[in-house]
Amino acid sequence: MQYLSIEGKQKLKGSVSISGAKNAVLPLLAATLLSKNEINISNVPNVADVKTLIKLLENLGATATCENHKVNIDTRGVKSAYANYDIVRKMRASILTLGPLLARFGHCEISLPGGCAIGQRPIDLHLKALEQMGAVIELKQGYVVATAPEGLKGATIIFDKVTVTGSENILMAAALAHGVTKLVNVAKEPEVIQLCEVLRDAGVKIEGIGTSTITIVGSYGELLDMKDFIVIPDRIEAGTYLCAGAITNSKITITNVIPKHLEAVTLKLIEMGFGIEADESSITIIPASKIIATDIETTEYPGFPTDMQAQFMALCTQAEGTSIIDERLFENRFMHVSELSRMGSNIKLKGHSATVAGNTKLNAADVMATDLRASSALILAAFVAEGTTKVHRIYHLDRGYENLEGKFSALGANIQRLEE
């Protein structure tokens, strides 16, 4: 098994190019199930989750070639609507095939996703919405068995709470439905917006893109003429590298980004004393004369992203004063706290809040990644720790960060991937 060895007390400098967004490309790959033609997708990140979903699509009958961050995919040969457990268990985002498969074939069987380290993320909102569109849903031996023999019907659906994957699944289902679907309380994340734009460019009439209410006129079961597209940059990867610059108090530049997507992150960094310089596609972080403690509350976009909570927690250990972090979206997303404590952090948990003491001297330790973003928080802490830290179970990292050690090495970090 592989681990990362990271030497502490490091300064970073230079620039790093951000990869395509994992959370954008996954629903877009699922959306190719709605297409009647092959599609070329550019700026695809070379990460494990993307490989897993492509493998699932190939198991269903699609053909795909991947080279130089480009994927050519053709789903015309898909005949199966059965997504088995062996693939789905590896990645919860596999559930994104539910909407498009049901809309295309009128039936599908999708394994229920496995457990998740950051808490329960139930798919009941997905299933409830599909039932409102006329689907019959049964749970049999760990599988969602969905049927809509006469096709899905347009409906007005009000999501009980904001759900990103739920919004995406029902957007795809509505694209092929019979009639008009109105979705209320839709997620407004950039990744959801890009999915809407790709469906719109394929001929689907969609109104309200980027708002909480979206109206979709379905194609009455006719497959779409999807166009080639470029995946948006990964705002969470970008935010992670900005936090690396912040925790080491170094000047670094990230390129191939959309600064608007990172406003919640950059505004918080400014509040903590850092300078931010941005143009159309890059952001530079300027060192702070003093890192100031801050309070953070995670919420849906355009608020502060839950996927940046762990990285900022590591940063707050180096601030002057005490920071309070409220995690409002997932009930079990503080698993990195125990590992940061092994490195000497002083973090107290109470319910969904963490109180982080600043001005903390961190020391190297053997630590274990518990989920994707927790992994990156441990790396950030290792950059300022005394000694050499070993981060184990880095397969979590490989799910969402492309060539992380290579990119950090280019910034001057002493980081190596080694075998146990």
Handedness of CA 304, 305, 308, 313 (dihedral sign): positive
DSSP secondary-structure letter at 412?
T
Euclidean distance between CA atoms 52 and 61, whole angstroms? 15
Question: Residues 66, 116, 196, 243: which is the catalytic one?
Answer: 116
Residue 303, H or E segment: none
Burial of 147 (0-12, 13-18, 19+ CB in 10 A): middle
Burial of 343 (0-12, 13-18, 19+ CB in 10 A): buried
Amino acid found at 175 = A
DSSP secondary-structure letter at 156?
E
Residue 347, H or E segment: strand 347-350
Tell me whether residue 116 is one of the annotated catalytic residues: yes
Give one DSSP letter per residue of 191-256, joined into a string. HHHHHHHHHHHTT-EEE-TTSSEEEEE--TTPPB-PPPEEPPB-HHHHHHHHHHHHHTT--EEEES
User: Cis before residue 302, ω within 30 degrees of 0?
Assistant: yes
Please give the positions annotated as active site.
Answer: 116
